[in-house]
């Protein structure tokens, strides 16, 4: 079956994924990453009839969505299945992003500052996801979870090695935003720091896990194009800084953490 990008899929009622509520990874291009949630509900009609609905919600890394709603008869699901698909692009305003910076960004920054200098056990998970879990308290369904350990919200700034930095978009960055670097090579004081996978910064780098480097923005300097971050280094939480002009290879993205309500979930 042809693998599609993300704005639709080739629905086959005789396939088993939608009946078993499985992730249809085989229907998408391997490079397409997403999170999936499923809702079930039924409507009782006259004459003892039931109409069953199963909704699949795919959230992609650009925070666009694919909604697949399937209506079927529980007794004969494959023969009666009718599927409707809707692709929903992300819509947001600068005002909404500012709201989420105040609502969550300040809490993320405060929480990460409280952890400075402390040792952490990575067996309980990476630093950034643990901070996000901590600020939610007992309600773990408030914030949207990371997608593939590399997308933590709405992109507010992106930069590829060798590009000219746009100072206007750089101004969108706020404290508490999440920095992610993929396959990045910084040249710093004539020493190379390789950021790839889940990295312990310095002379050594852990290149085995495949999890991109992530940290929390604490401050930034527009004139120098410098980002100050709070990060995990050798199982300890420290402060560090990175200049965009020192990024010689790789991609840099900065995300604003948002909640489920932002995308209608």
Question: Is pLDDT above 80 for 40?
Answer: yes
d(CA 1, CA 13): 13
Mean pLDDT for all residues in the chain: 87
Tell me which of 18-22, 153-157, 204-208 is least confident.
204-208
Q: Which pLDDT value is given to residue 93?
A: 83
By percentage, how much of the chain surpasses pLDDT 70?
A: 88
Q: Which pLDDT value is given to residue 50?
A: 86
Mean pLDDT value across residues 185-206 = 49
Q: Which pLDDT value is given to residue 117?
A: 95
Break the chain into its structural domains and give their ranges.
17-88, 94-263
Question: Is pLDDT above 90 for 206?
Answer: no
Question: Is pLDDT above 90 for 42?
Answer: yes
d(CA 63, CA 38): 17
Phi, psi at 62, each rounded to 5°: -90, 10
Tokens (6 digits) for 223: 């004139």
Q: Which pLDDT value is given to residue 248?
A: 87
């Amino acid at each position: 079956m042809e693998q599609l990008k993300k704005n639709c899929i080739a629905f086959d009622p005789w396939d088993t994924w939608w009946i078993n509520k499985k992730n249809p990874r085989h229907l998408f291009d391997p490079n397409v990453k997403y999170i999936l949630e499923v809702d079930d509900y039924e409507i009782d009609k006259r004459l003892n009839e039931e109409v069953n609905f199963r909704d699949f919600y795919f959230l992609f890394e650009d925070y666009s969505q694919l909604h697949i709603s399937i209506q079927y008869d529980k007794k004969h699901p494959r023969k009666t299945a009718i599927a409707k698909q809707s692709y929903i692009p992300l819509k947001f305003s600068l005002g909404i992003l500012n709201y989420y910076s105040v609502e969550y960004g300040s809490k993320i920054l405060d929480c990460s500052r409280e952890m400075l200098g402390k040792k952490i056990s990575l067996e309980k998970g990476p630093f950034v996801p643990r901070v996000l879990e901590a600020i939610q308290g007992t309600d773990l369904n408030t914030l949207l979870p990371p997608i593939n350990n590399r997308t933590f919200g709405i992109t507010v700034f992106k930069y590829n090695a060798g590009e000219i930095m746009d100072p206007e978009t750089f101004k969108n960055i706020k404290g508490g935003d999440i920095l992610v670097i993929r396959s990045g090579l910084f040249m710093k004081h004539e020493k190379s720091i390789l950021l790839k996978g889940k990295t312990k910064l310095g002379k050594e780098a852990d290149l085995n896990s495949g999890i991109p480097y992530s940290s929390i923005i604490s401050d930034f300097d527009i004139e120098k194009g410098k980002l100050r971050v709070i990060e995990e280094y050798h199982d300890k939480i420290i402060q560090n800084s990175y200049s965009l002009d020192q990024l010689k290879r790789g991609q840099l993205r900065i995300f604003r953490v948002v909640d489920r309500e932002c995308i209608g979930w």
